[in-house]
Structure 1
Amino acid sequence: MADHCASSWSDLPWDLLDRIVQHLELPGTLAMAAVCTSWRSAAAASGVPRSGTPWLVSRESEPLTKTKGSEFRNVLDPDKIHMVSYPQGRRNLSWCGASHGWLIASDELSNLLICNPFTLAMIPLPPITDLECVEGVYDNDRSIAGYYYGNSDKLISPPDYIGRWFYQKVVLSSDPSPSHGGGDYIAMAIYGNNQVSFARARENSWRHGTALSEMGKDSYADCVYHNGRFYTVTMCGVVETWDLNKEPAHEPNKQVIIAGGDGRYRRILTRFLVSTPWGCLLQIRTQRRNDHPRKVMVDVFEVNVKERKLVRLSSATAFQEYTVFVGLNESVCLHTKDYKELRPNHVYFATPWLTQEANFGLRGWKGVVIYDLENQTFEEVLPASKHSAFCPQQVWFIPNI
């Protein structure tokens, strides 16, 4: 990286630079570290990792209380907490995704926002009232007073309440930053366990996908963007691909890639899809072990899209020299040659929203854990909060600055 500061600034005394770092929030320290070599060294000496390493983002307080910011923990030093304020004075954001260097959150009105906590940029997605299962309730000033959800009753949910649990996962097709040609991104949301919708940049409405028909027998487990298309996997192992027409009025086109699943529904905790740097689409399957029903085993498969089948991979070599981060975020692989502190062929799990209810409460799952694929062992990194099983709020975030 070229040094851009004049010598008079780069030669500031070390103790002064350290005092500056101590008064900055994390976004400021990362920006400072990008200026020149001496400032980068001062930031590193104060415990600020380089910007591209993964961060674990969680709420400053429990889900049912309002807050002005989030806690950021770097994967290399999880015991150190950096406080980061919400963009533009927002309060009570609930995280439901991370993708391409951005976080996705539900705001005070339960509408979705794409936000960058380091640049403070925010992009609104279409309102929740555009989704078929939600109806707005308005006061005399035509402001949102609450929502009706579903058809079973007419209970009014407070404006911010439904967003804390309604969205299970949101991913993006590309970086929405203007500097990255971000005018063509598409957002995909899983909500209500069996429904998906899409929103293209600059469109003010959601495009609704076909809901799963077997509600109660199957539900969505994960979604990912891979090789120009979105993919979903259900708890039963059904894999679908989605394609959007350019015409907003047209419903997204769904094709089933693997129709029968794998027959493991009863023991499944959840599944993840991973788009790898070497071009393969992989599935991580987590389930209860037969010999120890209170413990979890992890298997990895290649989803062969062309031949429409699953191919089991060796646990010892499934991700080669890569580390995988899964949870509320869009799954991501990082090469350990670029991040030498990370462990190759390990999976870093954060508690996901999308789990099968019958298998809640398994030991070694809630919170943040690292799984060694070769030795099939879990290591706890951070314990779960008391609400994490019902309202997970820890999400892996990899900045793009």
Structure 2
Amino acid sequence: MDVPGAVRSGAVCTSWNAAYAAFRRLRAPSPRQPPCLLYASDSLAPGAAALHCVATGATLRIPFPRAPLARRPLLGSGHGWVVTADEASNLHLVNPVTGAQAALLPVTALHNVKMGTDERGGPAYTVYDEPGPNSKPPIILEIGRAHEYLYHRVVLSTSPSASRACVVVLLHMPMGKISFTKLGDDRWTLFSPCEGTGLPWKCFYKDAMYSDVDGLFYLLLINASIVSLDLNGSSPVARMILDNVSGTGTRAKYLVQTPAGDFLQAWRLKDYVDSPTPVDIPQEYMDEEEGQDPYVELNTVDIEIYKVDLHGQKLELMKGLPDYALFLGFNASMCLPIKDFDGLKANCVYITDDSPEYVNLLKYNRREVGIWSMAEQSMSKLVDVAPVLCPWLNWPSPIWIKPSFL
């Protein structure tokens, strides 16, 4: 059974509820879970969250733990857990199905972030650049909004239920910074580019992933180069495995591994368009935030998929993925065989918004959630699942997860 179906089974009758409770108590895994869209839905209940299974079309209401999802930005997901930021921009890991939580180290545990004051003397975070003669002045970030500028990607090696076996890699500002920690550590460890580490100096990273095949993390650079990152030993080791990629442009880039172990890169081109129907933006938000436009939307206009040829040190443009479906966004990118998931569309890319500028600065504008057909080179919408039109097109930006009880 998929996770939403298993949860519903507990409401059938007393005996089924007992079976469901035993299943949960035994912490039995639920293999081959189809991806679900996690989104905030006040239409279901104030502060409620919902999971929509794209394979079955089922929607499950879930009570988001601690704080309503509408006030918790979603910054990453993996192994059935999501990464959120609290009112102080500290990171937390949450399993939205079970309600289990794990707090990551505070933002001030990063090597370049300290508690300071803003121009009015109020509390704020001070983010420092590298020391040296050419270092830039520190950046002052409002505590409640630091997550909008500080965090780029958050990647998990395994479920946080595995405790210290779970390694968290964080891509953060300033450009090119990589820090990591294990659950239970007392600090974030900076892995900074320098001689001998194998990391390119001051290069922006677009995406990161963890491979269950070899136990390594992989980093995707803005120029489409790939770096492997081994955090299994006493000291981190990086190695450039794909370099000198030309003609990469400025598209959003994602790194994903197929079930066979091959690496793919997805390049996503977005463009701002004018919507025929404006959104309602509260006047106080219009007054506080410059550049608000109720008509603007950021839409995907093209997606290209490349197979990574590590032996030939090149990228091969693919015409399609006839046996697979991709899931892209703030989530850990997924490539899933459609034969294992009835209801998934072949040769398609399921996408959500993940542009920090659009997501965080235009919070009341519509989010993009849809299915890009590689064959037709066009976008289609997900089927509406609630009485309110497109209930997931609000803030925070929805995210793909593979639900888990672990």
With the length of structure 1 as denominator, give the TM-score of the two structures: 0.70
Per-residue deviation, 1:343: 0.4
What's 2:167 paired with?
186
Per-residue deviation, 1:271: 0.8
For the pair 1:98 / 2:83, whether they are aligned, the reply is no
What's 1:222 paired with?
207
Q: How does 1:321-400 map to 2 (within 5 A)?
A: 321-353=323-355, 367-381=368-382, 393-400=397-404
Deviations 1:27-61 (A, max 9, x none): 95365479977999xxxxxxxxx993322123457
For the pair 1:261 / 2:261, whether they are aligned, the reply is no
CA distance in 1 between partners of 2:164 and 2:12 (Å): 29
- Relative to structure 1, the CA distance from residue 394 to residue 386 in structure 2 (aligned partners, 3 Å threshold; closer, same or farther) is closer
Letter in 1 for 2:206: A
Per-residue deviation, 1:242: 1.0
Give the secondary structure class of the aligned counterpart of 2:339. Answer: coil
Tell me if structure 1 keeps the 8 A contact 2:41–2:391: no
- Relative to structure 1, the CA distance from residue 368 to residue 356 in structure 2 (aligned partners, 3 Å threshold; closer, same or farther) is closer
Deviations 1:336-359 (A, max 9, x none): 2232111012111111236999xx
Unaligned runs of 5+ in 1: 2-24, 41-49, 62-66, 139-143
Letter in 1 for 2:307: E
Q: How does 1:238-257 map to 2 (within 5 A)?
A: 238-244=225-231, 246-247=233-234, 250=235, 252-257=236-241
Tell me if structure 1 keeps the 8 A contact 2:87–2:143: yes
Deviations 1:272-301 (A, max 9, x none): 111111111111122479xxxx97332222
CA distance in 2 between partners of 1:241 and 1:355 (Å): 28
- Relative to structure 1, the CA distance from residue 57 to residue 38 in structure 2 (aligned partners, 3 Å threshold; closer, same or farther) is closer
Q: Of the candidates 208, 213, 224, which is equivalent to residue 190 of structure 2?
A: 208
Per-residue deviation, 1:74: 3.0
Per-residue deviation, 1:167: 1.6
Give the secondary structure class of the aligned counterpart of 1:274. Answer: strand
Letter in 1 for 2:106: P
What's 1:108 paired with?
87
What's 2:111 paired with?
132
- Relative to structure 1, the CA distance from residue 154 to residue 198 in structure 2 (aligned partners, 3 Å threshold; closer, same or farther) is closer
CA distance in 2 between partners of 1:175 and 1:35 (Å): 31
What's 2:292 paired with?
none
Q: How does 1:81-92 map to 2 (within 5 A)?
A: 82-88=60-66, 92=71
CA distance in 2 between partners of 1:334 and 1:36 (Å): 34
Tell me if structure 1 keeps the 8 A contact 2:352–2:398: yes
Higher RCO (Cα < 8 Å, 6 or more apart): 2
- Relative to structure 1, the CA distance from residue 314 to residue 303 in structure 2 (aligned partners, 3 Å threshold; closer, same or farther) is closer
Give the secondary structure class of the aligned counterpart of 2:97. Answer: coil
Letter in 2 for 1:223: A
For the pair 1:195 / 2:177, whether they are aligned, the reply is yes
- Relative to structure 1, the CA distance from residue 33 to residue 308 in structure 2 (aligned partners, 3 Å threshold; closer, same or farther) is farther
- Relative to structure 1, the CA distance from residue 239 to residue 71 in structure 2 (aligned partners, 3 Å threshold; closer, same or farther) is same
CA distance in 1 between partners of 2:325 and 2:18 (Å): 29
Deviations 1:279-328 (A, max 9, x none): 11111122479xxxx973322222234x2623415323x3x422111110
CA distance in 1 between partners of 2:186 and 2:255 (Å): 28
Tell me if structure 2 keeps the 8 A contact 1:222–1:354: no
Give the secondary structure class of the aligned counterpart of 2:8. Answer: helix
What's 1:315 paired with?
319
Q: Of the candidates 143, 148, 152, which is equivalent to residue 159 of structure 1?
A: 143
Per-residue deviation, 1:225: 0.8
CA distance in 2 between partners of 1:343 and 1:295 (Å): 18
- Relative to structure 1, the CA distance from residue 313 to residue 190 in structure 2 (aligned partners, 3 Å threshold; closer, same or farther) is same
For the pair 1:123 / 2:123, whether they are aligned, the reply is no
CA distance in 1 between partners of 2:150 and 2:335 (Å): 27
Number of residue-to-residue matches in the alignment: 333
Over the matched positions of the two proteins, sequence identity in percent amounts to 23
What's the C-alpha RMSD, in Å, of the aligned pairs?
4.0
CA distance in 1 between partners of 2:82 and 2:248 (Å): 32
Tell me if structure 1 keeps the 8 A contact 2:84–2:91: yes
Deviations 1:79-104 (A, max 9, x none): x8654333245773221001011111
Unaligned runs of 5+ in 2: 20-30, 130-135, 194-198, 272-298, 385-389
- Relative to structure 1, the CA distance from residue 35 to residue 260 in structure 2 (aligned partners, 3 Å threshold; closer, same or farther) is farther
What's 1:57 paired with?
38
With the length of structure 2 as denominator, give the TM-score of the two structures: 0.69
